């Protein structure tokens, strides 16, 4: 009985909220609503069409011509075909799906972790060890973000070639071992706002600098660190232009999809196969997103608010 | 406590703290010196060099300093190659169209902030293209417009169309690319705008509401001025990227986009990628090209920021 009352009151409060929300809507908000609804609908249609197409057989899509509708017979043959045959040929070497997944994991996890860690540590040093060199570091980050120098990729490639790190994953990690970028400023602002009391107490108790960093400071920013790591991870997983420039013979999954979408190879020329490979590429990152949705979508702000 | 004293030089820190600081900062600073300072200095030097292959078997190159020859080549190409001049216009066009997405995402973020109908759902779908790989979204869009739209038009009895992204009319291709840029651009900054807007004080909005301020006025007169620093930051990034913007050309066409569709960003990326796989001989020209473009972009960006800051002073 109590359960029924509880459910009823929940339903009432939900209805009240909805009515209140509807009351707040005015002409302006209805116009924006219409735009947003159309835009969202266009995204849904494209994603849904892609998802459905991956379950259509090549025969159904290409020969029978069922392009628009639901699959007449849902089939996994495209997925099986992609898992068994997806490969990229570069300079005489063949890279299979598992090679590309491994390269993607190495590239995305490695670069995301290295960059996040370096930015975090350097931001800590700049924020908490306030002497002249720390100010220099801070201003270097600001200036490099403000001045857009174009076309230095070719010089970076030459530099990597000179030290023998071009076209190697280690070289990629070395490139990402830098503290420049907006996330440095996010970490810097966080460290500046952290009180010195805990670290000070540990210092008085005889803790060393490394001990304070590992046991006190890093746990305090662990959430922030993980969120930025996730954002970097998604960015690097999806990035295909940078690997194409610096590790051209280590194709990631993104590179594979890019190669596939413009490749004239007959066996991969079917739209259903190409779309299926896109769906496969998206699945891991969608899982990460679904698990950490709240963390990713609620924690990003930049530039601040005027008081 | 030593930690919070300001303006100290390294010499005044005790030995352990010095070792700790230097141990942690040395490698990142070394990396910066090589891969930022070194790369930029090398880029300038490269622009004044010319490489010739001296030993084809071992791939040995020798170089000579050639003064402004590479810059001359860059300006010569701009003067004689129509597609390069076109690339400037395409870059500017992509830049201008980008503002539609920019202002759209501001407006949509406000809608989401107000918690109006289905705000969370809209936020999710606007944000999805940011977590899905660009190449995947482009591929879906491409196959959708090439296969589904023509098939749908035929199904409802319309005239047969031959697709958009691969249309024989290059203007149709250009419009398709711009439509895609706007479509995807609405969600590009939504997360940052949402994050910043959530920091707008409830009490300010409540006070405005009591004074009878309506949503449209609240958006333009309260919310936008309050988040002006964020708007400036992202607007400056937009300006800075004007000549690196590829208008998604590489994702749509790989290395085989029609020259008439080139942007400066695509031209630079394509040539850098090809040069990286071949030899040193193209490096100096590309470095000079980069410097010429930077010579336009840097003052433009700095000037734009100054103007925006001047405008911002009105909101103080």
Question: What CATH number is given to the structural domain containing B130?
Answer: 1.10.3720.10
What digits encode the pLDDT tens for the residues B176-191? 999 999 999 998 888 8
* Residue B25, min C-alpha distance to chain A (Å): 6
Chain A residues touching B145 at Cβ < 8 A: none
Chain centroid, CA B282 distance in Å:
25
> What are the residues whose beta carbons fall under 8 Å from the beta carbon of B57, sequence distance 6 or more?
none
Question: How does pLDDT run across A283-294, given as a tens digit for each residue?
Answer: 988 998 899 888
Is residue B178 domain-shared with residue B104, that is, in the same domain?
Answer: yes
The predicted pLDDT at position B2 comes to 45
**B76 within some domain:** no
Q: Is the predicted pLDDT of residue A6 greater than 60, yes or no?
A: yes
Q: What is the pLDDT of residue A134?
A: 92
In this structure, the answer to whether residues B6 and B52 fall within a common structural domain is yes
Strands (E), A6-111: 87-90, 93-96
For A24, A32, B302, the CA distances from B116, given in Å and listed in that order, are: 8, 10, 38
Question: Cβ B140–A68 below 8 Å, yes or no?
Answer: no
Q: How many CB atoms lie within 10 A of CB B294?
A: 20
Is residue B293 in some structural domain? no
Is pLDDT of A23 > 90?
A: no
Q: How many CB pairs under 8 A join A and B?
A: 325
Does B91 share its domain with B65? no
Please say which residue of B43, B69, B95 terminates a domain.
B69
* Residue B36 CB coordination number (10 Å): 17
Same domain? B39 vs B143: no
Report if residue B311 sits inside a domain: no
Per-residue pLDDT at A60 exceeds 80: yes
Last residue of a domain, one of B15, B37, B69: B69
Nearest CA in chain B to A208: B16
Tens-place pLDDT, residues A208-231 = 888 999 999 999 999 889 989 999
What pLDDT score was predicted for residue A40?
95
Distance from CA of B43 to the nearest CA of A (A): 5
Does residue B298 belong to any structural domain of this protein? Answer: no
| Lowest mean pLDDT, pick from A105-109, A242-246, B144-148 | B144-148
8 Å CB contact of A271 and B46: no
pLDDT computed for residue A1 by the predictor = 55
Residue A87 to residue A271: CA distance in whole angstroms: 16
Predicted local confidence at residue B4, as pLDDT: 43
Task: Answer yes or no: do B147 and B25 share one domain.
Answer: no
- Please say if the pLDDT value at position B282 is more than 60: yes
Q: CA–CA separation, A135 vs A224, rounded Å?
A: 23
Inspect the interface and report whether the beta carbons of A305 and B17 lie closer than 8 Å. no
Q: Does any domain span residue B34? A: yes
Which of A41, A43, A104, A283 has the highest number of chain B CBs within 10 A, making it the mutation to test binding with B? A43
Task: Indicate yes or no: CB of A152 within 8 angstroms of CB of B286.
Answer: no
Chain B CB contacts of A155 below 8 Å = 39-40, 42-43, 46, 283, 287
Structure tokens at A7: 């459910």
Q: Using CB atoms, pick whichever of B225, B236, B293 lies closest to residue A151.
A: B293
Residue B6 has pLDDT above 80, yes or no: no
Return phi, psi of residue A72, to 5°.
-70, -35
Q: Which candidate, A192, A197, A201, places its Cα nearest to that of A304?
A: A192
- Final residue of a domain: which of B34, B69, B104? B69
Residue A147 pLDDT grade (very low, low, confident, very high; cuts 50, 70, 90):
confident
The residue-averaged pLDDT of A62-89 equals 88
Q: Which of A91-95, B29-33, B135-139 has the highest mean pLDDT?
A: B29-33
Residue A82 distance to chain B (closest CA, Å)? 15
For the ranges A108-112, A234-238, B32-36, B60-64, the lowest mean pLDDT is seen at B60-64
Mean pLDDT over residues A257-270, rounded? 80
Contact: B17, A285; criterion CB under 8 Å:
no
Domain boundary assignment for chain A: 2-87, 90-298
Confidence of residue A157 (pLDDT cuts 50, 70, 90): very high
- Range list of β-strands (E), chain A: 87-90, 93-96
Please report residues of B whose CB lies closer than 8 A to that of A305: 196, 199-201, 226-227, 229-230
Domain identity same for B221 and B265: yes
Asked if residues B126 and B184 have their Cβ atoms less than 8 Å apart, the reply is no
pLDDT for residue A143 is more than 80: yes
Task: Indicate whether B218 and B144 sit together in one domain.
Answer: yes
Domain containing residue B97: 81-278
User: Which value does ipTM take for this structure?
Assistant: 0.85
Distance CA A274, CA A78 (A): 9
CA atoms of A295 and A289, how far apart (whole Å): 9
CATH architecture designation of domain A90-298: Orthogonal Bundle (1.10)
Is B166 inside any structural domain?
A: yes
Of A154, A175, A259, the CB nearest to B35: A175
Q: pLDDT above 90 covers what percent of chain A?
A: 53
The residue of chain B with its CA nearest to that of A263 is B254
B146 in the same domain as B33:
no
Whether pLDDT at B5 is above 50: no
The total of structural domains in chain B comes to 2
- Does residue B229 share a domain with residue B95? yes
- Same domain for B56 and B104, yes or no, is no
Q: Are the beta carbons of B116 and A155 separated by less than 8 Å?
A: no
pLDDT at residue A298 in the model: 67
Q: Minimal Cα distance from A45: which residue of B?
A: B144
State the pLDDT at residue B1. 42
Q: With a cut of 80, say whether residue A265 has pLDDT above it.
A: no
Give the residue from A68, A302, A307 with the most B CB atoms within 10 Å of its CB, the best one to mutate: A302
Nearest CA to CA, how far is A94 from chain B (Å)? 18
Enumerate residues 6+ apart whose C-beta is below 8 A from B36: A144, A178, A180
């Amino acid at each position: 009985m109590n359960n029924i009352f509880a459910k009823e009151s929940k339903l009432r409060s939900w209805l009240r909220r909805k009515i209140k929300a509807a009351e707040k809507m005015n002409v302006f908000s209805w116009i924006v609503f219409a735009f947003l609804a159309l835009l969202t609908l266009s995204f849904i249609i494209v994603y849904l069409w892609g998802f459905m197409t991956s379950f259509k057989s090549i025969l159904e899509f290409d020969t029978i011509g069922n392009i628009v509708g639901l699959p007449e017979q849902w089939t996994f043959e495209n997925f099986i075909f992609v898992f068994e045959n997806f490969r990229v040929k570069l300079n005489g070497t063949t890279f299979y799906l598992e090679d590309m997944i491994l390269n993607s994991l190495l590239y995305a996890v490695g670069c995301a972790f290295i960059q996040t860690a370096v930015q975090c540590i350097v931001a800590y040093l700049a924020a908490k060890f306030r002497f002249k060199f720390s100010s220099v570091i801070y201003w270097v980050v600001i200036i490099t973000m403000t001045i857009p120098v174009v076309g230095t990729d070719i010089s970076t490639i030459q530099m990597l070639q000179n030290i023998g790190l071009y076209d190697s994953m280690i070289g990629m990690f070395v490139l990402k071992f830098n503290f420049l970028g907006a996330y440095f400023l996010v970490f810097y602002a966080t460290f500046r706002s952290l009180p010195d009391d805990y670290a000070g107490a540990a210092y008085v108790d005889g803790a060393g600098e490394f001990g304070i960093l590992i046991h006190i400071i890093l746990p305090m920013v662990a959430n922030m660190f993980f969120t930025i790591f996730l954002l970097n991870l998604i960015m690097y997983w999806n990035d295909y232009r940078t690997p194409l420039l610096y590790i051209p013979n280590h194709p990631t999954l993104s590179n594979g999809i890019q190669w596939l979408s413009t490749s004239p190879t007959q066996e991969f020329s079917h739209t259903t196969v190409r779309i299926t490979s896109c769906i496969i590429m998206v699945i891991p990152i969608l899982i990460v997103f679904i698990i950490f949705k709240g963390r990713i979508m609620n924690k990003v702000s930049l530039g601040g608010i005027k008081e | 406590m030593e930690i919070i004293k300001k303006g100290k030089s390294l010499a005044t820190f005790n030995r352990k703290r010095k070792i700790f600081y230097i141990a942690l900062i040395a490698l990142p600073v070394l990396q910066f010196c090589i891969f930022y300072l070194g790369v930029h200095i090398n880029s300038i030097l490269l622009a004044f060099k010319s490489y010739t292959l001296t030993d084809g078997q071992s791939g040995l190159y020798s170089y000579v300093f050639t003064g402004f020859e590479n810059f001359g080549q860059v300006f010569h190409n701009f003067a004689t190659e129509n597609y390069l001049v076109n690339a400037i216009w395409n870059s500017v066009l992509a830049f201008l169209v980008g503002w539609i997405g920019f202002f759209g995402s501001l407006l949509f973020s406000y809608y989401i902030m107000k918690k109006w109908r289905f705000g969370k759902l809209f936020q999710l779908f606007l944000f999805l293209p940011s977590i899905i790989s660009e190449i995947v979204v482009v591929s879906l869009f491409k196959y959708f417009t090439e296969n589904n739209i023509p098939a749908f038009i035929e199904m409802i009895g319309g005239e047969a169309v031959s697709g958009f992204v691969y249309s024989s009319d290059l203007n149709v291709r250009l419009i398709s690319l711009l439509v895609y840029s706007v479509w995807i651009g609405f969600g590009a900054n939504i997360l940052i705008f949402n994050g910043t807007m959530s920091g707008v004080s409830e009490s300010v909005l409540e006070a405005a509401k009591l004074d009878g301020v309506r949503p449209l006025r609240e958006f333009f007169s309260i919310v936008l001025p309050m988040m002006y620093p964020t708007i400036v930051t992202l607007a400056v990034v937009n300006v800075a990227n004007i000549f690196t913007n590829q208008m998604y050309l590489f994702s749509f066409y790989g290395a085989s986009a029609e020259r008439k569709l080139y942007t400066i960003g695509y031209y630079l990326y394509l040539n850098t990628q090809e040069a990286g796989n071949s030899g040193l001989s193209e490096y100096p020209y590309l470095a000079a090209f980069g410097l010429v473009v930077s010579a336009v972009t840097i003052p433009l960006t700095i000037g734009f920021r100054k103007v925006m800051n001047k405008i911002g002073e009105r909101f103080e």
